[in-house]
Structure 1
Amino acid sequence: MGLLGILLALALLIGMAYRGWSVLLLAPAAALVAAGVAGEPVLAHWTQTFMPAAAGFLAQFFPIFLLGALFGKLMDDSGSVRAISAFMAEKMGPRHAILAVVLAGAFVTYGGVSLFVAFFVLAPMAHSLFKAANIPNHLMPAAIVLGTSTFTMSALPGTPSIQNAIPMPFFGTTPFAAPGLGVIASLIMMGFGMWWLGRAEAGARRAGVGYEEVSAATHEKAADDALVRERAVASHEFDPQEMGHGKRSAELPAVWAAALPLVVVVAVNLVMSFWVLPRMDVAFLQEPQWGQTTLAGVGGVWSVVVALAVAIVLVIVLNWSRLTNLRDSMDAGANASALPALSVASLVGFGGVVAALPAFAMVKAWVLGIEGGPLVSLAVSTNVLAALTGSASGGLTIALEALGSTYMQLAYELGIDPSLIHRVAVIGAGTLDSLPHNGAVVTLLAVCGSTHRKSYFDIVVVGIIGPILALVAVIVLGTAFGSF
């Protein structure tokens, strides 16, 4: 009965989330269904299992949600993201329209700008370039996905994405875990995605299919769509409804001033990870009042938080005259982090209840028994959970809350570098999360004025198949040569 309860709970969570119901309601309801069918104490699981798991996630990662959303909002309202997009469009032109969109998305998201902020800025840019080049609109979402939601989210070393931060407390790693393998994975995702999009563009030209006009306000309407919002907040770290709050500057900064904060995020992250934190005396962390933890358990999060905080200050200094309503912009950025953080935390609470049920032992045994060793089983478990929840961050956290300590023990016994496990877990979570019910997919299609029927196949190729190929390559190379 316990296994049946888990399956019923998953069916409830997936089915109702796809219909637009809030995860804040669905996650505890599904958890109680799983506990009730298993004959476990329902109320005790809600208050003593679900809530500590959800609260633990918030305690670890809310600073990244908060500062990441705030940084993204300030970069948007200051005109910095638009300045970078305009620079890419001007320098590369319609002849390289797809590459311009991909590179603009990659640059801003690798520098710490929220995925959803990038969507709302890149869509108008892509419409302009695709129209000038007469490239079919249906390729726009895939181009944006390739630049924002693949290698800069899960593979490039140092990326400040929440997905790259989640494994750090579990494995004692840094944002730069397995940098060589991360770069190789990024090249595979980028190269495969560009090959596919170039092939699709050429095929459309041969068939005489070109750009079709859409409403200029499509992306603005998407920000106010209630269904889009409900699906979006559970998959990434920015509430799209806050896009319209604050005041966007009509004047754009110089491109160097727009790009500098993004460079600072990566640079400060690097310096904190490898020079500042390792030289700090953190023996006090062993005391009960600090959670009896270690630098390995908190250092990765500290690095990302400091990097984002420094970049936020720099954005404000460089754009003081353009941020004419700074308080409203900062309020909107802070508010944009709250609902996504709570939604993902609720998914983690659901996973905590499922992992506490006696029947989960069978699921755990099945996962660990997958042929190919711990790297393969970890990749499969993060893939499956990200697919079921429609959230890379939610699926990854559920997997690591349930099995993270087990994989660390296996790594110790088998001599596997935790950095390798980190990179496999993150890339694994960033593959099947892009199923049709994923909030980022739903949001992007609405922002671009497209539909699943028109654009989803290309999203699958660049957002799922490409990352899976990269994941396979990382597992093969990691197994043969270890982490590098």
Structure 2
Amino acid sequence: MSLVIVVAALAFLMFAAYRGYSVILFAPLAALGAVLLTDPSAVAPVFTGIFMEKLVGFLKLYFPVFLLGAVFGKVIELSGYSRAIVAAAIRYIGSSHANAVIVAVCALLTYGGVSLFVVVFAVYPFAAELYRQSNIPKRLMPGAIALGAFSFTMDSLPGTPQIQNIIPTTFFNTTSWAAPVLGIIGAAFIICVGLSYLEWRRRDAVKRGEGYGASLIFESEPVHTTSLPNPLLAIAPLLLVGVSNFALTRLIPMWYGTQSSAALPGMAKPVTIPTASVVAIWAVEGALLLGIAFVLLTAFGTVRERFSEGTKTAVSGALLASLNTASEYGFGGVIAVLPGFLVVSDFLKSVPDPLINAAVSVSSLAGITGSASGGMSIALAAMGDTFIHGAQTAGIPLDVLHRVVSMASGGMDTLPHNGAVITLLAVTGLTHRESYRDIFAVTIIKTLAVFFVIAVFYTTGLI
């Protein structure tokens, strides 16, 4: 019965997310419903002592990353830099390579720190124009955007400032640059297989005489590329974020040592934080601040008129995204203490290989919740210590565990109820029936990449 309660709680949360209900509301309902069926007297203490403690702890660590990432993406959009980057990519790569152009632009923006939701809105008008000119079926477009924005730059490439690469750092005391060689190999696998698939789908459509399509909805207006910023200036803040993140990751431990402390006159006692647990977070926050400052300095005249409303939108988006994930993290903390989860945990422990164990656990929960960061948060809240113990017992560096967990979170997360998938289809005016096949293919490719990376590590020992 205890196992049924846990499965029912997970199924209820998945159903709520699939139906579009707020996870902020339904994650605590699912968790506390499971507690109610286990021990009614424990509901109130568990809510305050576990669910809210986990939720607040998550926000304390990661909300600034969500906030700064959203503001950075918004000023990139308002300045016209994102449009300049897309236009330059089309000009230099060529409209005949439509899929490669879209993947490259999405990858550049997300690796540069722009939220994947912002990328979808920024890239879609240009992608639609490019597909129209090339007479490629519009229904294939979401697959290309998903490959560029939701895959290798989200969790595979070392140093990516996306939250899926930051969350493991606080559990494993790693940095966002963990296992760089394996990350690059995994990214190369996803790019090569993904682009090959997209090109096969394009050629098949051409062979059957299928064109861009008719009677389409939410068609964007033709894009005008006059008066855009210089593409070199537009790409500069993205490069600045990447370089600053790399530099700060190395400089912060040198500045603070093993313990970061502060003692101001009004403090009863000094604040002391282990530096290793926050290096990656501080580095990304500092890099995003520098990126925002650069955009404001170089394009303030363009950004100024819409900065107030734009930042309000960005803050609202950051609050919603961070609270969604924090609620799922609190849900995971509650589920982890239920008797039924011990059965699940024991079953997963029966998988002898620690990396495969971590990959299957994280990817499964990401698929159930429809969220890479949410599924990873639940898995790490519930089984993080088990993953660490297994890796250390097997002599596997935690950097490798970080990369596997990060990549696994972006494996099965993009199932039909995933928020990014729903947003992508809504923006492009397409349906699951028309376009989800190609998004799911990218999902399968991402999942295979995790096990490919594990095999490479065991075969070569590369990190």
TM-score bucket of the superposed structures, by smaller chain: over 0.9
CA distance in 1, matches of 2:262, 2:101: 49
CA distance in 2, matches of 1:165, 1:219: 34
Q: Does 1:322 align with 2:323?
A: no
Q: In the alignment, is the contact (CA less than 8 A) between 1:219 and 1:447 conserved in 2?
A: no
Q: In the alignment, is the contact (CA less than 8 A) between 1:93 and 1:129 conserved in 2?
A: no
Aligned partner of 1:414 in structure 2 is 394
Q: Does 1:468 align with 2:459?
A: no
Q: In the alignment, is the contact (CA less than 8 A) between 1:420 and 1:483 conserved in 2?
A: no
Aligned partner of 2:191 in structure 1 is 190
Aligned partner of 2:211 in structure 1 is 210
Letter in 2 for 1:473: F
Aligned partner of 2:456 in structure 1 is 477
Unaligned runs of 5+ in 1: 221-248
CA distance in 2, matches of 1:52, 1:95: 53
3-state SS of paired residue (1:24): helix
Aligned partner of 2:20 in structure 1 is 20
CA distance in 2, matches of 1:62, 1:289: 25
The offset of 1:168, in angstroms, is 0.2
Q: In the alignment, is the contact (CA less than 8 A) between 1:219 and 1:446 conserved in 2?
A: no
Change (3 A) 1:460 1:149: same
1:448 to 412, 421, 428: 428
Aligned partner of 1:240 in structure 2 is none
CA distance in 1, matches of 2:226, 2:310: 14
Change (3 A) 1:330 1:209: same
3-state SS of paired residue (2:97): helix
Aligned partner of 2:326 in structure 1 is 345
CA distance in 1, matches of 2:269, 2:415: 42
The offset of 1:93, in angstroms, is 3.0
CA distance in 2, matches of 1:290, 1:151: 41
Matches within 5 A, 1:200-239: 200-213=201-214, 217=218
Q: Which moved more, 1:471-480 or 1:294-303?
A: 471-480
Unaligned runs of 5+ in 2: none
Task: String of CA shifts for 1:348-378, please: whole Å, max 9, x gaps.
Answer: 111111011122211111112114x100000
Task: String of CA shifts for 1:75-96, please: whole Å, max 9, x gaps.
Answer: 0111111110111122233211
Task: String of CA shifts for 1:213-266, please: whole Å, max 9, x gaps.
Answer: 46674579xxxxxxxxxxxxxxxxxxxxxxxxxxxx995321111100000111
Letter in 1 for 2:244: V
User: What is the aligned-residue RMSD (CA, Å)?
Assistant: 2.0
Aligned partner of 2:229 in structure 1 is 253
The offset of 1:327, in angstroms, is 2.7
Seq. identity, %: 41
Letter in 2 for 1:169: T
Q: Which moved more, 1:104-113 or 1:408-417?
A: 408-417
Q: Which moved more, 1:173-182 or 1:448-457?
A: 448-457
Letter in 2 for 1:336: G
CA distance in 1, matches of 2:387, 2:237: 36
3-state SS of paired residue (1:109): helix
The offset of 1:409, in angstroms, is 2.3
Q: In the alignment, is the contact (CA less than 8 A) between 1:219 and 1:449 conserved in 2?
A: no
The offset of 1:2, in angstroms, is 2.2
The offset of 1:417, in angstroms, is 0.6
Letter in 2 for 1:98: N
Matches within 5 A, 1:63-74: 63-74=64-75
The offset of 1:52, in angstroms, is 0.4
The offset of 1:330, in angstroms, is 2.4
Q: Does 1:271 align with 2:247?
A: yes
Change (3 A) 1:43 1:321: same
Q: Does 1:306 align with 2:267?
A: no
Change (3 A) 1:330 1:376: same
CA distance in 2, matches of 1:126, 1:284: 46
Letter in 1 for 2:280: G
Q: Normalising by structure 1, report the TM-score.
A: 0.90
1:354 to 335, 340, 343: 335
Task: String of CA shifts for 1:388-436, please: whole Å, max 9, x gaps.
Answer: 1000000001111111122222222322111000000011010100101
Q: Which moved more, 1:282-291 or 1:19-28?
A: 282-291
The offset of 1:314, in angstroms, is 0.4
Q: In the alignment, is the contact (CA less than 8 A) between 2:371 and 2:413 conserved in 1?
A: yes
Aligned partner of 2:364 in structure 1 is 384
Q: In the alignment, is the contact (CA less than 8 A) between 2:370 and 2:419 conserved in 1?
A: yes
Aligned partner of 2:11 in structure 1 is 11
Aligned partner of 1:155 in structure 2 is 156
Q: In the alignment, is the contact (CA less than 8 A) between 1:74 and 1:312 conserved in 2?
A: yes
Letter in 2 for 1:356: V
CA distance in 2, matches of 1:214, 1:439: 26
3-state SS of paired residue (2:301): coil
Task: String of CA shifts for 1:295-351, please: whole Å, max 9, x gaps.
Answer: 111111111111111111001011111113223322322222111111111111111
Count how many residue pairs are aligned between Structure 1 and Structure 2. Answer: 454
